[in-house]
Amino acid sequence: MLGDYLECRRLLEIEAAGLAAERATRGQLVALSEALERMTAAAVQTAGAPSAEDRFHAADIAFHRAVIRATGNSALGGMTEPVHRALAAARRPLARPELRLERSLPEHRRILAAIADGDADGARAAMRDHLLTVERYLSEYAADVTPEPRARPA
């Protein structure tokens, strides 16, 4: 079921990133930048602390919502909100605090840079790469929690 939400997110947010690159206003770019700054601060200041985790995830959600708002398509916001809510409930298995500085933050910076440059194809590619990273995290988590099959007695 979680995989279904991730797939929906990929279908919606990749195109949203492209539209945001074509349509984002100066104010929307500021909102994206501010969300990324909050993500960075939370990742750097107190990595691994529960309050930092909450701040990081809140800023991450704000970033993705800002991408959706930058499309100028209110219907898209209505479609993505249930997906974001469902994924928020599973954020812990998808989180990789130890990889934020080297993976998550650079991926978000790449999304923002492409949107700010008006590069729709680059924004789509950056969002695709980021969401595939999140899907890999889910696969890794599922592999870690799936018990090994027991050997049958001979």
Each residue of 10-19: pLDDT tens digit? 999 999 999 9
Give the model's pLDDT for residue 46: 62
The CATH classification number of 2-140 equals 1.20.120.530
Residues 6+ apart with CB under 8 A from 113: 122, 126
Confidence class for position 154, pLDDT limits 50, 70, 90: low
User: What is the percent of the chain where pLDDT is above 70?
Assistant: 88
| Whether the predicted pLDDT of 115 surpasses 80 | yes
With beta carbons less than 8 A apart as the criterion, state whether 40 and 88 touch.
no
78: DSSP letter: H
- In three-state secondary structure terms, 57 is helix
Give the model's pLDDT for residue 92: 66
Task: Of 51, 48, 76, give the one whose Cα is nearest residue 64.
Answer: 76
Pick the range with the lowest mean pLDDT from 1-15, 36-50, 90-104: 90-104
**Token code pair at residue 31:** 């909102």
Cα-Cα end-to-end distance for the chain: 36
C-alpha neighbours within 13 Å on the C-beta side of residue 136: 10
Task: Of 29, 27, 3, 5, give the one whose Cα is nearest residue 123.
Answer: 29
Give the model's pLDDT for residue 49: 74
Residues 6+ apart with CB under 8 A from 90: 2
Query: CA 3 to CA 15: how far, in whole Å?
Result: 19
